[in-house]
Amino acid sequence: MSDGLKIKHLYARAGFGLNLEEAKSKNKSSLQKEVRQLLKVSSYDEIKIPQQVLNLQKKAISMQETMGRRQGRKLEDEVKKYNKNIVMDWIGKMTEGKNPLLEKMTLFWHGHFACRIKMPHLAANQINTIRKNSLGNFKTLVKDIAQDPAMILYLNNQQNNKKKPNENFARELMELFTIGIGNYSEKDIKEAGRAFTGWKADVVQGEFKFVERQHDYGTKTFMGKKGAFNGDDIIDIILEQKEVSIFIARKIYKYFVNPKVDENKVKEIAGVFYNSDYDIKKMMQFIFSSDWFYGGKNRGVKIKSPVELFVGLKKILDVDLPQQNIMKIVGKGLGQALFNPPNVAGWPGDKSWIDNATLMLRLNLPHLLLLAKDVEVKGMESFSRKPKNKSADLRPFIQEFSKKENSEIADDLIHHFIHPPLAMNKGLLYKRIELSTPEEVIQKIIFRTLSLPEFQMC
Amino acid sequence: MKRRDFLKNTTLASSAMMIPSFLKASGWESLFGNHVGKKLVVIQLSGGNDGLNTIVPFENDIYYRSRPKISVAKNSVIRIGNDLGLNPELKGLESIFKEGEMSIINNVGYPNPNRSHFRSMDIWQTGSASNQHLSTGWLGRYLDNECSGCNPYFALDVDDSLNLSLKGKDVSGFATDNINQLRKTANNPYLKYVAESHQHFHHDDDHENVEYLYKTMIDTQSSAKYLFEKSKVYLSKMDYPQNKFGKDLKQISELMTAKANIKIYYATLGGFDTHAGQKGKQNRLLKMYGDGMKAFVKDLKRNKLFDDTLILTFSEFGRRVKENAGGGTDHGTANNVFLMGGKLKTPGFFNDAPNLSDLDNGDLKFKIDFRQIYSEIITSALGGDPKKILQQKFSPLEIV
């Protein structure tokens, strides 16, 4: 198998796929170099909230406190609209391809530390925290998440105090975030809950605050150890257990390698993860440097998540839609609303993305993207309607394909953009096209290729 | 599961693999009918309907003291019990109740109630405990367990996206709120050619997900055709209210009358989150619901389908007993659930009115776990093993 094909697979999993130009240039690169490049993080901007939105948010919160919920709520609804900008900002980062793996890991951890966030400043904070650690150390990531204001609100640690402990965060910390069910007792949950008492959020500032008088300084017995543990101690003790590395490695395997788990491989990955003291980058490097990752059994077997699908298409077609439409398509239509997971267990992924409604929308998505009323298609002047400020750009394709036979065009598109073996008659991609201009023919073949069920896979 | 169900749903259906496709397309399933159990229609009131202003405790002073602004006046209540009556906007339900075709179950909820819409709806749709996270719905697990070879539209969500309760691990429900539109999308000639050409390709074990996508696509294409044809068999002449909910109910009744092989229908009416200015908002919605149900029940009766139908109405939670400063109510806990259908075992009020003097932090205490109702529905209407589907045993209620 050529490095070119391996690189295609690598970028589909470690990033959001490649567009035509990237695919062409990377086709000749070496795999080693690409893996190295993906793991190297170049500088990036954090997601920032404009001061005026922050001010508005503060006003909304203080209004709720002083004048009652109703007054504050209206203002808050205004502020919430800004959540769209954060999602768009993030989708922009995924699309531009500066740090594909970093963004992919951020998306993975966003689903792992699933948290429903309504306030934009808290959403931005959390995603910045995750991005900062997403290829760093898992222990630091967990500790940062335990002090993340949005998570504290979501899992009721705001209500966790010495007098009336709330164990919700402690429970999910173990069940979903680190070690998995069956590796701790109900008593462990209660004791861990006590250790996190007084860990609160300053919602207005969007910061962690430790409320000393609400913290339980007493002795706790947790996973066979005894001490006046605080939250950080609890996380340290949990992460001493090898089961954590297996739990995380299995989830990583399902997400990056294959939804069907090979437990032996999971153990290998977990070993690297545990022995490096939870270095996420080392774990990912191990996976991407292993031959089995590129094996035929693992290629083209993963159903793209809505965000993967959408970002991938956006890259290929270089198209943009109005914010509202994107939120509608990816969130309500396809079922992955960022900052709004189904519950604290995150998106179950794989087949659960697919039902009749989501699949038909997925298969029609290229069409929707290109034929949306306010989308101009560059290079397709004969087609395009009045230009608005959104554009799709097919010029690279037209340049590349204008001298090629239809069947060659189809072959090239499959080569670059389709991962599993075709399970249909290839001729359908380019036969029976009765249109006038060569551009229209090229556009048609692109449509047909990207509308295949096979394009849903990576 | 009864033997007849078993035959119909499993053996014959799974041997469908061996039935030539031309037979399958001609709707061979209808030969075997669908007479066992009942059709289930689920009506979801989203946003947390205020149960106390729906079924009004008009003899209760605490009720009137707690709600000086928004309570329903005693003299306007439609009396259907000694101490409970219908909100006047629910006039449409009066005859259904009085004819013994409706059962009102009070104080339905679950332990450690969650007051987030999202989470509580999740709990109702998955049938989980409040500290448990399931990614399949209770009806989805029914499909997984009892329906591995059923047609893809066996459970129909009248919505543009499939809700969690109908998502199974291997088998899920089917979603469409516009059959004509669905047909247009599914009729994409290119995708039809693709589907057709796929028939000649061998199944590849490593790429079973590709196979799954093809199957879903082909199922959608054939379902779109089936549903479109069935939707043209009978056009209801009943006067449904002119709104989305009325339109959805009409669609359901037309498919039922056309004897479509659909066991479960699901429809949603949203907007019940009445934190402020509740009276106008909730009244409008209750009228929509009551008038819609009246037309729907009448339609089903006229077509002699009502005895074989069970209609469940629920909301993710009720609201607090005390009104708030904005003339609304905030998120609460236990609530009433309605069952409608012919030949109910215990029509009328199933249990006592909520006890307003014994509250949990200002909220109603639940007396009946909603999963007891699900369990009953699975046993009596759907035909299935409730313990397997709900992953726990719940004591039955004997209503249906």
Backbone φ/ψ region at A365: left (φ over 0), alpha (ψ -120 to 50), beta: alpha
Residues 6+ apart with CB under 8 A from A113: A130, A145, A151, A177
Distance CA(B247)–CA(B269), nearest Å, equals 11
How far from the centroid of its chain's Cα atoms is residue A118's Cα?
A: 18
- Domain membership flag for residue B334: yes
* Mean residue pLDDT across chain B: 89
CA distances, B314 to each of A74, A454, B120, B128, B146 (Å): 28, 40, 12, 16, 24
Q: Helices H, strands E: what count in chain B?
A: 14, 12
Measured distance CA(A175)–CA(A172) in Å, rounded: 5
Cβ within 8 Å, pair B133-A176:
yes
Q: Which residues in chain B have Cβ-Cβ distances shorter than 8 Å to A332? A: 161
Closest by CA position to B313, among listed B88, B46, B97, B128: B46
Identify whether A398 is part of a domain: yes
Tokens of A334: 């396809």
Which residues from B are below 8 Å from A73, CB to CB?
Answer: 275
Query: Could you tell me if residue B376 is inside a domain?
Result: yes
Residue predicted with more confidence, A393 or A226:
A226
Residue A348 lies in a domain: yes
Query: What pLDDT does A314 receive?
Result: 92
Mean pLDDT of A269-275: 98
On whether any CB of chain A is under 8 Å from the CB of B129, the answer is no
Mutate to test the interface with A, among B124, B166, B217 (most CBs of A within 10 A): B217
Q: Do A451 and B191 touch (CB under 8 A)?
A: yes
Whether the CB-CB separation of A17 and A94 falls below 8 Å is answered with no
Residues of chain B contacting A451 with CB distance shorter than 8 Å: 190-191
Among B130, B133, B204, pick the best mutation site for testing chain A contact (most A Cβ within 10 A). Answer: B133
Rg (CA), chain A: 24
Residue type, B45: L
Measure the CA–CA gap between A163 and A34, rounded to whole angstroms: 54
**CA separation for the pair A218, A162 (Å, rounded):** 10
- CB spacing of B210 vs A296 below 8 angstroms: no
- B205 DSSP 8-state letter: G
Angstrom distance (rounded) from CA A84 to CA A323? 7
Å from A423 to nearest chain B CA?
A: 6
Instruction: Report d(CA A356, CA B185) in Å as an integer.
Output: 11
A300 lies within 8 A of chain B by CB: yes
Which of A167-171, A287-291, B48-52 has the weakest average pLDDT?
A: A167-171
Say whether A424 and B216 touch across the interface (CB within 8 A).
Answer: no
Whether B230 is covered by a domain: the verdict is no
Closest residue of chain A to B209, computed from CA coordinates? A301
Residues 152-191 of A with CB under 8 A from B: 168, 171, 176
Q: Residue B355, by phi and psi: left (phi above 0), alpha (psi -120 to 50) or beta? A: beta
Give the pLDDT confidence of A372-406 residue by residue, as tens digits.
Answer: 654 555 655 444 444 444 567 889 999 999 999 99
Nearest to A288 by CA among A24, A28, A37: A37
- Whether A312 maps to a domain, the answer reads yes
Nearest by Cα to B338 from B143, B80, B142, B36:
B80
Tell me if B255 sits within 8 A of B205, measured CB to CB: no
Shortest CA gap A345–chain B (Å)? 6
- Least Cα separation, residue A72 to chain B (angstroms): 12
Q: Which residues of B touch A343 (CB under 8 A)?
A: 118-119, 122, 133
Chain B within 8 Å of A114 (Cβ-Cβ)? no
Residue of B nearest to A425 (CA): B197
Is residue A125 a part of any domain in this protein? no
Model pLDDT for residues B85-131, shown as the tens digit of each residue: 999 999 999 999 999 999 999 999 999 999 888 889 999 999 999 98
* B43: β partners: B267, B313
Q: Looking at chain A, which residue has its C-alpha nearest residue B183?
A: A360
ipTM, two decimals, is 0.93
Pairing of the two strands B335-340 and B309-315: antiparallel
Selection from A104, A131, A118, A91 nearest residue A323 by Cα = A91
| Listed residue (B398, B400, B392, B340) closest to B110, CA to CA | B392
Query: What's the pLDDT at B318?
Result: 97
The pLDDT of residue A176 is above 80: yes
Distance from C-alpha of A39 to C-alpha of A37, rounded to nearest angstrom = 5
> So what's the pLDDT on residue A451?
96
Residue A222: strand, helix, or coil: strand
CB within 8 Å of A404: residues ≥ 6 apart: A412
Residue A371, chain B, CB below 8 Å: the answer is no
Cβ-nearest to A451 among B190, B209, B210 = B190
Tokens of B84: 């409970």
What's the DSSP call for residue A135? T
Higher pLDDT, A323 or A447: A447
Q: For chain A, give me the number of helices (H) and strands (E)?
A: 22, 6
A435 reaches B (C-beta below 8 A)? no
More confident residue, A443 or B106: B106
Q: Which chain B residues are Cβ-neighbours of A331 within 8 angstroms?
A: none
Tell me the β-bridge partners of B265.
Answer: B41, B156
Task: Determine the length of chain A.
Answer: 458
Helix or strand or coil: residue B316?
coil
Q: Which tens digits make up the pLDDT trace of B246-300?
A: 999 999 999 999 999 999 999 999 999 998 899 999 999 999 999 999 999 999 9
Give the count of domains, chain B. Answer: 1
- Residue A333: inside a domain, yes or no? yes
What is the distance between the alpha carbons of residues A163 and B169, in angstroms, rounded to a whole number? 42
Supply the pLDDT for residue B36.
55
Q: Which residues of chain A are within 8 Å of residue B214 when distances are taken between CB atoms? A: 423, 453
A419 in reach of chain B (CB within 8 A): no
Cβ-Cβ pairs closer than 8 A, A with B, add up to 124
The residues, any chain, with a CB within 8 Å of residue A52's CB and separated by 6 or more, are: none
The CA distance from A392 to A384, in Å, is: 10
Residue B206 placed within a domain: no
- Per mean pLDDT, which range of A13-27, A49-63, A399-413, B296-310 is the poorest? A49-63
Residues of chain B with pLDDT under 70: 1-36
What DSSP string runs through A402-438? Answer: TTS-HHHHHHHHHHHH--SPP-S-GGGGTSS---SSH
Per residue in A308-319, pLDDT tens? Answer: 999 999 999 988
| Residue bearing tokens 């701790």 | A184
> Looking at this protein, which amino acid is placed at residue A133?
N
How far away is chain B from the Cα of A108, in angstroms, using its nearest Cα? 18
Indicate whether A326 belongs to any domain. Answer: yes
The candidate with the shortest Cα–Cα distance to B364, out of B26, B66, B10, B27, is B66
Residues of A in contact with B217 (CB under 8 A): 359-360, 363, 453
What is the distance in angstroms between the Cα of B197 and the nearest Cα belonging to chain A? Answer: 5
Closest CA to B212 of A368, A358, A337: A358
Residue B394 phi/psi, 5-degree rounding, is: -120, 140
Between CA A327 and CA A87 the distance in angstroms is 8
Gyration radius of chain B over CA positions:
22
- Identify the pLDDT of residue A379: 56
Residue B220 covered by a domain: no
Of A348, A354, A425, which has the smallest distance from its Cβ to B212's Cβ?
A: A354
Query: CB-based contact (8 Å) between A67 and chain B?
Result: no
Contact in structure between A107 and B362 (CB atoms under 8 Å): no
Identity of residue B230: K
Q: Answer yes or no: is B76 within a domain.
A: yes
CB contact (8 A) between residue B213 and residue A332: no
Q: Is residue B48 part of a domain?
A: yes
pLDDT at B115: 87
Contact B204 A342 (CB under 8 A): no
- A118 touches B: beta carbon within 8 Å: no
Whether A457 has its CB under 8 Å from any CB of chain B: the answer is yes
Burial of B62 (0-12, 13-18, 19+ CB in 10 A): middle
Q: Give A70's contacts in chain B (Cβ within 8 Å).
A: 275-276, 324-326
Report whether B56 contacts B84 (CB < 8 A): yes
Contact A248, A338 (CB under 8 A): no
Work out the percent of chain A whose per-residue pLDDT is above 90.
75
The pLDDT, as a whole number, for residue A75 is 81
Q: What is the mean pLDDT of residues A353-370?
A: 90
- pLDDT for A390: 56
Q: What is the mean pLDDT of residues A188-207?
A: 96
- Start-to-end C-alpha separation, chain B: 16
Nearest-Cα distance to chain A for B199, in Å, is 8
**Cβ of B188 and A364 within 8 Å?**
yes
Q: How many separate domains does chain A show? A: 1
> CATH code at B386?
3.40.720.10
Cβ distance of A342 and B167 shorter than 8 Å: no
Query: SS3 of A332, please?
Result: helix
Mean pLDDT of A65-75: 72
B333 CA: distance to closest CA in chain A (Å): 18
Report how far residue A288's alpha carbon sits from residue A276's, in angstroms, rounded to the nearest whole number: 16
| Distance, CA of A235 to CA of A225 (rounded, Å) | 13
Q: What does the pLDDT read at residue A372?
A: 62
Q: In this complex, do B201 and A296 lie within 8 Å of one another by their Cβ atoms?
A: no
Q: Is B384 on the interface with A (CB under 8 A)?
A: no
Give the residue numbers spanning the domain of B126.
Answer: 3-13+35-186+238-390
- pLDDT in the model for residue B147: 87
End-to-end CA distance of chain A: 17
Per the document, the length of chain B is 400
User: Strand, helix or coil at A41?
Assistant: coil
Contact between A211 and A200 (Cβ < 8 Å): yes
A301/B326 CB distance under 8 A: no
A315: containing domain: 306-456
Mean pLDDT for the stretch of residues A368-372? 74
Query: Two tokens at B167?
Result: 């998502």
Verify whether the Cβ–Cβ distance A70 to B176 is below 8 Å. Answer: no
Find residues 222-241 of chain B whose CB sits inside 8 Å of chain A. Answer: 223
Q: What is the DSSP string of A253-321?
A: IIIII-SS--HHHHHHHHHHHHHTTSBHHHHHHHHHT-GGGGSGGGTT-SBPPHHHHHHHHHHHHT---
Least CB-CB distance to B217: which of A302, A343, A359? A359
Q: Confirm or reject contact between A344 and chain B (CB < 8 A).
A: yes
| Residue whose entry in the numeric block shows the structure tokens 């007054």 | A71
CB distance B329 to B70 below 8 Å: yes
Chain A hits for B167, Cβ within 8 Å: 352, 355
| CA–CA distance, A3 with A26 (Å, rounded to integer) | 9
Predicted pLDDT at A332: 87
Q: Do A357 and B176 touch (CB under 8 A)?
A: yes
